[in-house]
Structure 1
Amino acid sequence: MKILMINGSPRRNGRTGIATRSIARQYGVDVIDLSGEDAVPLYTGEDEQEQLESVQKLSQKVKEADGIILASPEYHNGMSGVLKNALDFLGSDHFQHKPVALLAVAGGGKGGINALNNMRTVMRGLYANTIPRQLVLDPICFEYQQDSIKQDSMKMVDALISELKLYTKSYLVLKEE
């Protein structure tokens, strides 16, 4: 079972990156980090963009994955522009029926839910099977000095990953038929 997590934050040292690194260490998932070496250019729809190494890497990793975790900060009631831009390079052939888990990192208070809804809408447009469970991590969920998610908050992450794995197992069985 190949799980891929996409860090949809433009910030190299932001909380979404901390969450992504922490989850990758805990669960051994592969990561596309849009804030670093995996950044893709602004989508223009021009054919030559498909030949770019960063775009080919993104496309290949998403196609090979059996399940996806999208992680994004919430910016102005939506997912980050960096994540939306990366998703614009992909199509339904990358996501059709594939299980996708959603994780938003909020600034606190009641943030995050709009980013989740925004990601869910885009995934519906790509024919993904976005799982029902979703997660918002607030600033209090992090151990900043350890570059990790606090243990009590990891219980929520565990539940998200468990549900994603359940849907991914089903996806793999159906894919075989």
Structure 2
Amino acid sequence: MLTIISGSNRPGNRTQEFAKHYLAEINRRGIECQLLSLQELPRDFVFRNSVCGEENPELDGIIQEHIETADEFLFFSPEYNGGYTGVLKSFIDVVPPKLFGNKKAALIGVASGSFGNLRGMDQLTNVLHYLGVHVHPMKVNIQRCDSYLNLDNQITDDFLLQLIKAQLDGFLK
């Protein structure tokens, strides 16, 4: 099972639109895939979790459904203050590390600026390597993200579509 993690909890975020595009493309390839938007997390998950010694059945269910059952991940993160999102880091921190070990991941950075969260993807790579995740070397850094979506939130840029295809072709072998 492949889990796509959309690493923003802000309503109306653009990261989710790119994650949905990947979901549709992977489904077209006949691969079992699910999307986890961090907007779905319980509001108190940072303080109510098994790592902190307090039960949170809703969070435990999300972790079981989307992390424990997954063999592969696509991590999407917008750029916040020169890095990946705090909510994504917090989510990773409340997941038992053994649930990530020896799995594989590909990363997609999203930003309104010029570098597509390049630094954040490097930071996230370091964390995932520490957890024993095999990170695919081709990262897609979506810069000036608003310029790639039309009014229906569809990607219209041929070059970006080629990058996405190349990343998925390499990752999903």
TM-score class normalised by the smaller sequence: 0.7 to 0.9
Q: Structure 1 residue aligned with 2:73, among 60, 68, 75? A: 68
Runs of 5+ in structure 2 lacking a partner? Answer: 28-32
Q: Quote the RMSD (CA, aligned, Å).
A: 1.9
Q: For the Cα contact (< 8 Å) 1:11–1:17, is it kept in 2?
A: no
C-alpha separation in 2, matches of 1:79 and 1:39: 20
**What letter is aligned with 1:13?**
G
Q: State the 1:125 CA deviation.
A: 1.6
The structure-2 alpha-carbon separation of the partners of 1:58 and 1:145, relative to structure 1 and needing over 3 Å to count, comes to farther
- Cross-structure match for 1:174: none
- Cross-structure match for 1:96: 101
Deviations 1:137-160 (A, max 9, x none): 122552241222225112111111
Q: State the 1:38 CA deviation.
A: 3.7
The structure-2 alpha-carbon separation of the partners of 1:79 and 1:39, relative to structure 1 and needing over 3 Å to count, comes to farther
Q: Secondary structure at the match of 2:73?
A: strand
Q: State the 1:108 CA deviation.
A: 2.2
Q: State the 1:92 CA deviation.
A: 2.9
- Cross-structure match for 1:126: 131
- Cross-structure match for 2:30: none
- Cross-structure match for 2:162: 155
Q: Structure 2 residue aligned with 1:142, among 136, 145, 148? A: 148
Q: Secondary structure at the match of 2:36?
A: strand
- Cross-structure match for 2:23: 24
TM-score (norm 1): 0.83
- Cross-structure match for 1:165: 172
Q: For the Cα contact (< 8 Å) 2:150–2:156, is it kept in 1?
A: no
C-alpha separation in 2, matches of 1:60 and 1:71: 18
Q: State the 1:111 CA deviation.
A: 4.2
Q: Secondary structure at the match of 1:11?
A: coil
Q: Secondary structure at the match of 2:35?
A: strand
**What letter is aligned with 2:35?**
V
- Cross-structure match for 2:37: 33
Q: Give the structure with the higher percent helix.
A: 1
How much identity, in percent, do the aligned residues show?
22
